Amino acid sequence: MLLSVAALLAGCGSSASGSGATPTPTGGKPPTAVPRVRITPAGAPTAPPLPTATAIAASAYTATLTGTVTDAKTGAPIPGAVVVIAGGAKTARTNAFGVYRVRFPAGHTAPVTIAIPGFAGALAMGQLKSHQIATLNFKLNPITAGAPPLPSPPIRFGQP
């Protein structure tokens, strides 16, 4: 049972005089905060503690893109190409073998662009589910002097 402040203070003296002052139960001193007390009969069951929220790691909602970036004419890997997802939300660089791997939030349609000086860029659009892994291999066309850049055709991946 919970005891109210009024019940705890009942029977305390009052310093009310005919001067119109507000009576105080502590004999003229301002009252202090009284903590709420829960009194249970001996042997009475108490409620179990409430469960706490469990944090879920961001990795539970991520997808992975992996693949290679190569020269469209020679087939040679292109190291150092920048893979950009969702306008810069996530980025990665290809290694010496032209391989990249990047994790990003799943469930949203995301544009993927590839850029490196000396090559025309590439674009892919798609959406992946949580824990899904997609392989996107890009073949970039080298830029030749005096000719307009010839980008690779766009790629669709994942969910429509």
Q: Is residue 67 part of a domain?
A: yes
Report the C-alpha dihedral over residues 110, 108, 135, 156, rounded to 10 degrees: -60
Taking the whole predicted model, whether its pTM rises above 0.85 is answered as no
CB 61 within 8 A of CB 107: yes
Residue 28's domain spans which residues? Answer: 1-42
Write the pLDDT tens digit of every residue in 66-105: 999 999 999 999 999 999 998 888 999 999 999 999 998 8
Write the pLDDT tens digit of every residue in 38-51: 556 666 666 666 67
pLDDT at 22 over 60: no
| 79 vs 6, higher pLDDT | 79
Q: Is residue 117 part of a domain?
A: yes
The DSSP code sequence of 120-136 is --EEEEEE--TT-EEE-
What is the helix (H) or strand (E) element at residue 5, kind and residue range? Answer: helix 5-9
Number of domains in the chain: 2
Q: Is residue 51 part of a domain?
A: no
For tokens 């969702």, name the residue: 86
96 and 134 belong to one structural domain: yes
Distance of alpha carbon 93 from alpha carbon 99, whole angstroms: 8
